[in-house]
Structure 1
Amino acid sequence: MDGSRAHARATFLLTALVCSAALTAGCSATSPRPVEREGPEKAPAVSGAPTIRGSAGDLQAAYEKVVKDVLPSVVQITAGDSLGSGVVYDDKGHIVTNAHVVGSAQSFKVTLATGGGPVGARLVAAYPEQDLAVVRLDEVPKSLKPATFGDSSKVEVGQIVLAMGNPLGLSSSVTQGIVSAVGRTVSSGRSGGGTGATIANMVQTSAAINPGNSGGALVNLAGQVIGIPTLAATDPELGRGPAPGIGFAIPAVTVRTVAGQIVRSGRVTDSGRAALGITGRTIVGPDFTPAGVAVVAVNQGGPADRAGLRAGDVITAVGGSGISTMQSLSEALAGLKPGERTEVTYDRDGAEHTTTVTLGEI
């Protein structure tokens, strides 16, 4: 595996923007209702990356135009006592957000930025593996304004972006930053309502991401949504508090793929995520540090089974990446595709072996 892929899979200590208090990464807060605005109806669209030129005055005008154009497409979602954000996906009333924002709830109150009071909504489906979900409004207002989703494959480091959402319950808030990195593979925790998802190709941004931003919009200066803010890094030296200026967004291409399937079929029918076809668990070595993933069971006829892996084997590397925990295994697989062939190194009865596995799909 080349250095760039290994770098892209660098492990971060992360937390989902879940339902928590104060300034730890989280999806919820207690807040006033958002400012209500009116806007025209618009169909979903996809476009390329912008080129921004001109003076500081032109840049300020570009900021103002983006906020005016996109903020009406960003909504506030109330799930029980929790608040999060969402983005209007189409003119049929579908709203895309994070799975950890909806949690286990089935019904919600959605406050639009285009006018009127809270609107009832119901869950269409959640896909925790990518921390995405789609809810649908019970009634579709004429003022509903779908967002334009950009081509996240054209996102470049240094590109100016705005994060829009409801941080700490402060409705219709906007923060500014740049794209700090692309192609990150990151994992969220399960504590506090996180899904434990490992997500590839995420966009790293310096735009401030706070509790309540989850499910909102990361937007370029062409007014296109290039990602859904989802995770914020935490710093162990700050008592697991947020690491300022390090946030992550699910790329728009993933959002469109997952949300599109949910809208069409009510579920994700093609995950595009690689799998070995095993049940595993992290084991520790003699020094009580993680030492690999023990295979508890192998799916009959699955990729691992066909490659000769069996229960009791301990996986220590996949595609050249060392494996010490279930999380590191998930991160290694997140950068691979179903049908791709990769080498798996494992220990069996004290002896090291390597086999080639044709990966399956989750």
Structure 2
Amino acid sequence: MGRTTRRRVTGALTAVVIALGGLGACSDDDGSKKDSSKDGATAGANVASGSAAPSNALANDLQAKYQEVVRNVLPSVVQITTQTGLGSGVVYDDKGNIVTNAHVVGQATTFEVTLPNASKPVTAKLVAAFAPDDLAVIRLDNPPGDLKPARFADSAKLQVGQITMAMGNPLGLDSSVTEGIVSAVGRTVSEPQSTGSTGATISSAIQTSAAINPGNSGGALVDLDSQVIGIPTLAATDPETNGGAAPGIGFAIPANTVKSIADQIIRNGKVDNSGKAALGVTVRTVAGSNGRASGVGVVSVQEGGAAQAAGIRQGDVITSIDDQPITDVASLSEALGGKRPGDKATVSLVRAGNGSQATVEATLGELES
């Protein structure tokens, strides 16, 4: 999103180099392409024989496939403008529903949406947002008859190394496309808290080397079958550059999560089955005697929730879950992000009042809207 795209430090960077069959090509750090088939005797042999270089044919096929995907998917990617910034969205159905990030929506309830090749924006209203998964659905007030809904893939079938393309409106540059690969699947990443966003924890994020920049949020991460495999949501930052962008490390919400949440919002106006584990507490980060974050204090306990059943009380300070240290709200979200409703968790805490240590077992509930 133009001024609200989320960024998070993910640690050391790793260079990614891919080989594409007989192409003999790799992607350098500056994005330039080197064709090994043009080296020395190899190139001479191709010219002498009068035959076309196999690498050229494969490169042309791949380029044609890229162009086909752009033609198929880009008409489904829109620009969303609020009073505080802009981001991207994906046409979800022919009724005018558009899926995007909750942090793109922020606190807004009305929007201007620019459709591909449209001369002027159209208006839309919020259906609902689900901040824990950083997803939202907005609906066009007067959807045109030629809307082109995107096709969503089964993201459970993704494989590391698949070629992918990110489509959106980075820095306000509408209908932009970048390319890369699926670098990893099943990542747990957290977004920072900000105005209008409590900071989502995504437990099954897709990591990609396709460039994700401010404004790409809410757009489309697609495969070479012209299917949306995820919704780009944040880019990594590099601690060694004081929070500067970490090139080639971006994250997207997987398509299966997008479909589940969007379908519930469209059908019910809320999310009843998130699949996300919940402890049933409202918490805040607390500092130790050294002034550093040392746990999360329980501000309130949900009636009938997992924490109440386990004997966790208001004022207790949670310090670990299953031996995973809990120092702040983000670490608590990450610990719960790797679990499912119904899982059992061992919670270590400092009791309110007397400061004694305690350990309880909680059966986790489900997070709802």
TM, length-normalised to structure 1: 0.82
Deviation at 1:338, TM superposition (A): 1.4
The equivalent residue for 2:47 is none
Q: Secondary structure at the match of 1:262?
A: helix
Selected match of 1:270 from 268, 273, 276? 273
Q: Secondary structure at the match of 1:186?
A: strand
The equivalent residue for 1:40 is none
Amino acid at match of 1:355: V
For 1:99 and 1:272, locate their aligned partners in 2 and report how far apart those are by CA, in whole Å: 18
The equivalent residue for 1:251 is 254
The equivalent residue for 1:130 is 133
- How many pairs does the alignment contain? 318
- TM-superposition CA deviations, 1:185-215 (whole Å, max 9, x none): 1111223654411221011111111111011
For 2:179 and 2:195, locate their aligned partners in 1 and report how far apart those are by CA, in whole Å: 27
For 1:76 and 1:144, locate their aligned partners in 2 and report how far apart those are by CA, in whole Å: 14
Is 2:192 the counterpart of 1:186? no
The equivalent residue for 1:103 is 106
Amino acid at match of 1:356: E
Q: Secondary structure at the match of 2:152?
A: strand
Kept in 1, the 8 Å contact 2:94–2:148? The answer is yes
For 2:315 and 2:187, locate their aligned partners in 1 and report how far apart those are by CA, in whole Å: 32
Is 2:355 the counterpart of 1:353? no
For 1:212 and 1:60, locate their aligned partners in 2 and report how far apart those are by CA, in whole Å: 25
Kept in 2, the 8 Å contact 1:318–1:345? The answer is yes
For 1:216 and 1:297, locate their aligned partners in 2 and report how far apart those are by CA, in whole Å: 36
Counterparts in 2 of 1:300 and 1:137: CA distance versus 1, 3 Å: closer
Trace 1:171-250 onto structure 2 (pairs within 5 A): 171-191=174-194, 194-250=197-253
The equivalent residue for 2:78 is 75
Kept in 2, the 8 Å contact 1:18–1:194? The answer is no
- TM-superposition CA deviations, 1:206-237 (whole Å, max 9, x none): 11111110110000111110110111112233
Is the deviation greater in 334-343 or in 213-222? 334-343
Amino acid at match of 2:365: G
Trace 1:1-362 onto structure 2 (pairs within 5 A): 17=1, 19=3, 55-80=58-83, 82-113=85-116, 115-191=118-194, 194-348=197-351, 349-362=354-367
Kept in 1, the 8 Å contact 2:2–2:172? The answer is no
Deviation at 1:130, TM superposition (A): 1.5
For 1:119 and 1:311, locate their aligned partners in 2 and report how far apart those are by CA, in whole Å: 47
For 2:80 and 2:305, locate their aligned partners in 1 and report how far apart those are by CA, in whole Å: 40
Structure 1 unaligned spans of 5+? 1-16, 27-51
The equivalent residue for 1:43 is none
Q: Secondary structure at the match of 1:237?
A: helix
- TM-superposition CA deviations, 1:95-149 (whole Å, max 9, x none): 1011111222222121111545322211111122211111111112122100000
Deviation at 1:331, TM superposition (A): 0.8
For 2:108 and 2:291, locate their aligned partners in 1 and report how far apart those are by CA, in whole Å: 39
Structure 2 unaligned spans of 5+? 8-19, 23-57
For 2:21 and 2:93, locate their aligned partners in 1 and report how far apart those are by CA, in whole Å: 31
For 2:225 and 2:210, locate their aligned partners in 1 and report how far apart those are by CA, in whole Å: 17
For 1:123 and 1:280, locate their aligned partners in 2 and report how far apart those are by CA, in whole Å: 28
Deviation at 1:184, TM superposition (A): 1.3
Amino acid at match of 2:280: G
Kept in 1, the 8 Å contact 2:123–2:141? The answer is yes
For 1:173 and 1:107, locate their aligned partners in 2 and report how far apart those are by CA, in whole Å: 24
Kept in 1, the 8 Å contact 2:6–2:191? The answer is no
Amino acid at match of 1:327: A
- Residue identity over aligned pairs, in percent, reads 61
TM, length-normalised to structure 2: 0.81
For 2:309 and 2:361, locate their aligned partners in 1 and report how far apart those are by CA, in whole Å: 10
Q: Secondary structure at the match of 2:177?
A: strand
For 2:102 and 2:355, locate their aligned partners in 1 and report how far apart those are by CA, in whole Å: 41
Kept in 2, the 8 Å contact 1:100–1:195? The answer is no
Is the deviation greater in 112-121 or in 81-90? 112-121
Deviation at 1:354, TM superposition (A): 2.5
Larger RCO (CA within 8 A; separation ≥ 6): 1
Amino acid at match of 1:182: V
Deviation at 1:289, TM superposition (A): 2.1
Kept in 1, the 8 Å contact 2:2–2:171? The answer is no
